[in-house]
Amino acid sequence: MNINFSRFDTLTTLLAGTTAALTIVISQPAIAKTPQEVASIAGPLTVQINSSLGDGSGVIIAKNGKTYTVLTVNHVVEKADVKYNVRTSIGKNYQATAVTRLQVAATDADLAVVKFESPEEYPVATIADSDQAVIGTQIFVYGYPATGGLFGAEREPELSPGLVTSRPRNRPEGYTLRYQAVTWSGMSGGPVFDSEGRVIGLHGQGEFGFAQTSSGEVAPIKTGFNAAVPINTFIAKLVAAGMNKSELKVDNTPPAIGPVSLDNPQDAKSYYFRGLSRLDRGDAWEAIADFNKALAFKPNNTPELHFNIGNARTLIAVIPDPTRGSTAIQAYTRAIDANPGFADAYYNRALAYLAEDKSKAIADFQKAAELYKQGGRTTAYQDALNRLKTLQ
């Protein structure tokens, strides 16, 4: 069964404008960087995009004199009658001088560009060929999450590592770069980097997927999968953005580190990742088989393994087969036992309980809501509260 993803971030935006910098094509071999090095590159490039409607992120992609161009997702800046402010990594705030929304129709990619004026010197992101981000490729999502009770200008930057789990040809709003990584509200529009610190996409979708549960309900289960609009999709829309490729800093050298091989897994990490990739494609039984093989190695990341077994079981929505491992409730329970703060596991277990024990479902939704509130996950928190209202 396919997982159909929905946005979870409050807003997303793309800062628009024209620039006139020279294209820099780097020909020397790429050198893979540590996560710390990627974070040091990402920090000065990534900005907050704030408004009265909510919080988002973006990345500086071009400069012409004192005019900077920021790329983000459209749902961060989709309202034309709202003023948007850009806050840079050094704490400077600028009102957006122009917003170009590239998502004209619902079927268009969720992209936008915003301009701002500043006398300060800010670096410009290097862009890479997003087609090279195949399944198993290391990525890093960077942005300003609204967590820990911090919103707007108070937000602090976050780097979240992950791996590409699928590259579908078509997805609503252009979200064809998919990965499993931890992200939060407020990171929409933030850049997705490859292992060399080059931008390959714009993050903007995630949080949950719709699946039919064993009770017959179509429910938004929490999955951990996320998606970005590939940078190549933006390159194809440069004319609409009022730009040309010569204004961008481009490096299409292949990454120094290749993707994780899924052909012949030999350890827990490889089996786990192949299971994620299969689960992302909707191949739930095959994913469960890989997760169980990963568990046989007794790895340290058992909360995530059990959580994803629960997700796979929920997606199957059939009579449990004890020969293929735990039920969804058993798997989520094991994930919670291994990590008592696993909010999504409580939420998904509550959904699984709906068909057999309403009181246990209520208790789990209450715990999930408590943990979501503590973590600043406002959308998930409200979602859990809405569930409780329908049950109480």
DSSP 274-328: HHHHHHHTT-HHHHHHHHHHHHTT--S-HHHHHHHHHHHHHHH-SS--GGG---H
Give the H/E segment covering residue 378. Answer: helix 378-391
Q: Distance between CA atoms of 178 and 209, rounded to whole angstroms?
A: 13
**Is-contact 47 58, C-beta < 8 A?**
yes
How far, in whole angstroms, is CA 64 from its chain's centroid?
A: 30
pLDDT tens readout for residues 181-235:
888 888 999 999 999 999 999 999 876 555 555 555 555 667 778 999 999 999 9
Average pLDDT value over all residues in the chain: 85
Q: Which CATH number is 268-391 given?
A: 1.25.40.10
Specify the pTM: 0.78
How much is the pLDDT for 220?
63
Domain with CATH 1.25.40.10 in the chain: 268-391
pLDDT over 70 (residue 165): yes
Nearest to 9 by CA among 298, 277, 202: 202
CATH class of 4-250: mainly beta
Residue 5 binned pLDDT confidence (cut-offs 50, 70, 90): very low
Neighbours of 26 (CB within 10 A): 15
User: For the chain, how are helix, strand and coil distributed in percent, rounded to 5?
Assistant: 30, 25, 45
**Is-contact 316 281, C-beta < 8 A?**
no
Domain with CATH 2.40.10.120 in the chain: 4-250
